[in-house]
Amino acid sequence: MLERGKISCVQTFYLLVVLVSATAVIFLPAITAEAAGRDAWMAPLLATLPGIFLALVISALGKRFPGQTLIQYLQAALGSWPGRAAGLLYLFYFLHTNGIIIREFGELMTAIVLPRTPPLVFHVLILLLCAWAVREGLEVLARVVELTFPFMIFLFTAAILLTAGDMKLGNLFPVLENGLKPIIKASLPPIGWRGEIILLAMFLPYLARPEAGGRCAVVAVLFIGLILTADAAANTLVFGPTVARLTFPTFTLVRQVSIANFLERIDAVLVALWVLGMFGKICLFYYAAVLGAAQLANLRSYRPLVLPVGVVLAALSIAAAENSREVTEYIVKGWPPFSLTIEYIFPTLVLAVAYLRGVGGVSKSPSAGGRNPE
């Protein structure tokens, strides 16, 4: 068995929330505001529906192929070689997306926190730490996220509430100025972001009770929707439509905070905690890539792959884009079609194919799940 650890439903919830919202909280308000203007806060809300759909698809796939991860049941559902090709595609998705995430992280760190440090330093440092965490396995990863999650939520809530003084309700009106179309257009990136929960398919078999995974994922998607909506709404309430012109609106928002003229500009603290969230996100994608590669190659352990994949990621994070603007452009234009295909359409197709071919046993009792047949 490649992974011995077991994680609980609550830990899955934490992992998924951190996975999606770590970057979304920072980048999404500007991206949605660009298309939807004042109605940006509706986009993440709208994106929740496809998220729930995806969670159910993953859960159905997990029930159909108990004890197998995405990479493994792709082969079972599509046949050996097409399945492997699809697995390679997913590996590329994990790696490339992670490269972009690391790049976003580095861009933000150089822009906000330590301007004179080369971004590669951030990339390599975070990758080294993540390599360590990934080596230790899913259980440790889950515990780290579990421990840091309350702090992140606390600080995020505090930051939003402390800006309440600067909020102007008028910024939200008029609602639906240009109709629904721009909102639907704006909701594409959030849908892509929400689709990152496809990673659940990589660790669903390692849940203590895999059959409950779908429920946890749905709750997580709803919670993510809440966070992102609150985030977008707070940004719009404070800045109005100008959000679209800010690179990192949430940080600009937190900069407004001044506690009793004593603690000002707590954005550095927010960054510090946000970095913990980024660790979780990067680690999960990293883990998925390493585990997937090991399963694709039928290795007995994924640990020998950890460091090499880390090197690939470090290179990819630099090569993925030329500059910060290109990263944003990619997220707005290139990312939605790519991610929607990989995250939503493909799993649905796999489920349909598996259903039509009659592969995978629904008859197997779901409580026997969680055992990797390897």
Partner 1 sequence: MVKNKKYRLEIKQPRLAAGIIFFTAKACGLPPAVNVWGVELKKILETLLRLITYQPDFDREGFILRENEYDRQSVPERRDGGQKSPGGPEGGGRNGGGEGSGRRTPRRAARPRRKDEPAGEAEPGRVHSRLDENRRAVERIYGLPANKDVILREFSLGTDPPLRAFMVFIDGLADRKSQYRLLENLMIHCRILRPGDVMSASRIMTSLLPGSQVKNLDSFEKIADAVNYGDTAFFFEGSDSALVVETKGWEARTVDRPETEQTITGPQEAFVENLRANIALIRKIIRSSDLYTEIIPVGARFRSDVAVMYIKDLANPDLVAEVKRRLSSITVDFVTDVGMLEQFIEDSPYNLNPQTLATERPDRVAAALAEGKVAMLLSGSPFALVVPTTMFSQLHTGEETYLRWQYGSFIRYIRTFSFYLALLLPGSYLAVTLYHQEMIPTELLLAIAGNRERVPFPTVVEMLLMEFSFELVREAGLRIPGIIGSTIGIVGALILGQAAVQANIVSPILVILVAVTGLASFSIPYYSLAFAVRIYRFFYIAMGALLGFYGITIGLFIQILLTVNLKTFGLPYLSPAGPRTFPGRDMVGRLPVFLQRRRPDYLNALDDVRLPGAPRGWVEGGDGGSEDGSDR
Give the binding site for partner 1 (CB under 8 A).
Answer: 4, 6, 8-11, 109, 113-114, 117, 122, 125-126, 129, 132-133, 136, 139-140, 142-144, 146-148, 207-209, 212, 216, 261-266, 268-269, 271-273, 275-276, 279, 297-301, 303-304, 307, 367, 370-371
At its nearest, how many Å lie between partner 1 and the CB of residue 354?
A: 25
- Is the Cβ of residue 130 or residue 351 nearer to partner 1 in the bound state? 130
- Is the Cβ of residue 95 or residue 144 nearer to partner 1 in the bound state? 144
At its nearest, how many Å lie between partner 1 and the CB of residue 136?
A: 6
- Contact of 274 with 104, CB cutoff 8 Å: no
Residue 358 zone, left/alpha/beta (φ > 0; ψ -120 to 50; rest) = left
- Is the Cβ of residue 14 or residue 335 nearer to partner 1 in the bound state? 14
The CA–CA distances, whole Å, from 200 to 2, 80, 136, 204, 293 equal 16, 22, 19, 6, 16
At its nearest, how many Å lie between partner 1 and the CB of residue 3?
A: 11
- Is the Cβ of residue 26 or residue 232 nearer to partner 1 in the bound state? 26
- Contact of 131 with 311, CB cutoff 8 Å: no
At its nearest, how many Å lie between partner 1 and the CB of residue 179?
A: 42
Q: Which tokens belong to 335? A: 């990312």
Q: What is the DSSP letter of 207?
A: B
Rg (CA), the chain: 20
- Is the Cβ of residue 41 or residue 149 nearer to partner 1 in the bound state? 149
Residue appearing with tokens 């809440």:
226
- Is the Cβ of residue 143 or residue 364 nearer to partner 1 in the bound state? 143
- Is the Cβ of residue 170 or residue 308 nearer to partner 1 in the bound state? 308
Closest CA to 50 of 185, 179, 182, 187: 187
At its nearest, how many Å lie between partner 1 and the CB of residue 144?
A: 5
* Nearest-angstrom CA–CA distance, 352 and 77: 9
CB atoms within 10 A of CB 258: 13
Cis-peptide, bond into residue 347, ω within 30° of zero? no
| Total residue length of the chain | 374
Q: What is the DSSP letter of 357?
A: H
At its nearest, how many Å lie between partner 1 and the CB of residue 142?
A: 8
Name the 3-class secondary structure at 167: coil
At its nearest, how many Å lie between partner 1 and the CB of residue 265?
A: 5
